[in-house]
Each structure stands twice: as structure tokens, then as C-alpha cells.
Amino acid sequence: TQLLEQSPQFLSIQEGENLTVYCNSSSVFSSLQWYRQEPGEGPVLLVTVVTGGEVKKLKRLTFQFGDARKDSSLHITAAQPGDTGLYLCAGGGNRGSTLGRLYFGRGTQLTVWP
């Protein structure tokens, strides 16, 4: 059973388009993180959100944590080829979880064409 469901699984868009990736769960998390992974490399942390309703911006990327702390979204404005990669959401601190453990979604593979 996957604790975090990401959608869509694949996304292929043209440069300049906007997109949103979703991360949903039936569990409440104390924090939600987003990572980006490029081929042949490990995931790299983009952002951590900890407060329900929190919105964080990182240049053209906007991250939102749901009010109930069960879901999150990543919105990219005017996507560029350099945004291409696998985007992973990860939740931490849910009830009954191992201390410090993160639960990962299966990822959204984003391809941005020039």
C-alpha cells in the first residue's frame, strides 16, 4: 500500500507552459518534502513545508501544504528544459511512523521540451 500517491505519473510539456504535480495521502504528516532527481543521481531536496496551508516559493516553483496536512502540490510556472527530472514528494512524522523516517511517493517524471 502506497502511503503517498503522486499524480500524474508522467508529464510531457513544452517550454513556457505551466504545470502542477499533486501528492495526496489519507494520513496526516507533520512535514512534507519535495525532491528532484536527475538521471544517475540521488534525489535533491527542494523544499520542506511543515504548517498546514503553508505556501513556499522557490523562483518559478510554488509548493503548498494542504490545510489538513494530508496533501501537497508543486506548481511550476513557465517550465524550462532544466526543470526536467523526477519529482518526489515525501511525508514525515505521521502517526505511528518510525522516528525520522520519510515515506516517499512513486514520483512524477517531468519532461520539458524546448
Partner 1 sequence: NAGVTQTPKFRVLKTGQSMTLLCAQDMNHEYMYWYRQDPGMGLRLIHYSVGEGTTAKGEVPDGYNVSRLKKQNFLLGLESAAPSQTSVYFCASRTNYGYTFGSGTRLTVV
Cα 76 from chain centroid? 11
Given the complex with partner 1, which of 45 and 78 has the nearer CB atom?
A: 45
Residue 23 Cβ, how far from partner 1 at the closest point, in Å? 12
Q: List residues near partner 1 by CB under 8 A.
A: 2, 33, 35, 40-45, 48, 88, 90, 98-102, 104-107
Residue 66 Cβ, how far from partner 1 at the closest point, in Å? 19
Residue 104 Cβ, how far from partner 1 at the closest point, in Å? 4
| Residue 44, CA distances (Å) to 2, 30, 85, 86 in order | 21, 20, 11, 10
Q: Which residues of 8-22 are buried (b: 16+ CB within 10 A; e: fewer)?
A: eeebebeeeeebebb
Given the complex with partner 1, which of 28 and 86 has the nearer CB atom?
A: 86
| Residue 33, CA distances (Å) to 3, 49, 69, 98 in order | 14, 6, 12, 17
Residue 78 Cβ, how far from partner 1 at the closest point, in Å? 26
